Structure 1
Amino acid sequence: MSSNKGKDVAEGSSRGAAMAPDQQNPPPLSRYESQKRRDWNTFGQYLRNQRPPVALSQCNANHVLEFLRYLDQFGKTKVHLQGCVFFGQPEPPGPCTCPLKQAWGSLDALIGRLRAAYEENGGLPETNPFCKWRY
């Protein structure tokens, strides 16, 4: 008799119980699906952290734009300001104080993943705040 039997029962363990084949080892998520889930969770956390918190049903294009502005501060693309000595140089020879921003392609891909995740999580296509036709 297993010394862990009581622990297994108390924790609701299914060890030893027959499981359907598709429940034993779910297929790993693709890179896209993993990123989409992570992006969706990040956006949900962003909405919950607003004061007052914003329900997904109340989310609109303005919330999406505010979220993108928030994310912009964590970008890796150097954007030289017009007064910068390196303005217009794709590979400047030295450091400057110009800001780092999200690349446009990264933001475009993010919006695509969030658009799909919104509808996969019960949102209606006609109320999807991530649809490009709404901007």
Structure 2
Amino acid sequence: MPGSGANKTHAVVEGGSIFIQKLNSSLWAEANEKKILLGQLISMYSELLKTIFKNKRSKHVKDIIAALEVYKTHYSDGMKKAEELLQLAKLPMNDAKIELKAIMELRTVLLEMNKEEVRRKRRSRAQNPRGRPNLSG
């Protein structure tokens, strides 16, 4: 029967992981980036458990929700960063006022990008000072 809960469950199970693939993705490799992702996942799990167990919450479920809430406060800075990214993505880039401001800020943004690139190259050289392949794994 189309649209039944069993078919939806089967589709999710067959389709692979929902969150694990994101955690293992190279897009979220750096610790700060992963912290943003984990903050979002923690928030989603907290809401999920609160919704599923709206009326009947065993002590075990209450403990998990409480732990997630503690983690949420620990990862809240990551959530703030994610929210800023979402706000940036929603900017109407065809708005004349935003276009003008963006063009006025372009030089500063490019200078910041250059600083980050120099830092990244320095870290790379510091980890591998003589250009030898890093075989430590």
- Name the TM-score class by shorter chain: under 0.3
TM-score, reference length from structure 1: 0.28
> Normalized per residue, which structure has more helix?
2
Q: Which has the higher contact order (CA 8 A, sep 6+)?
A: 1
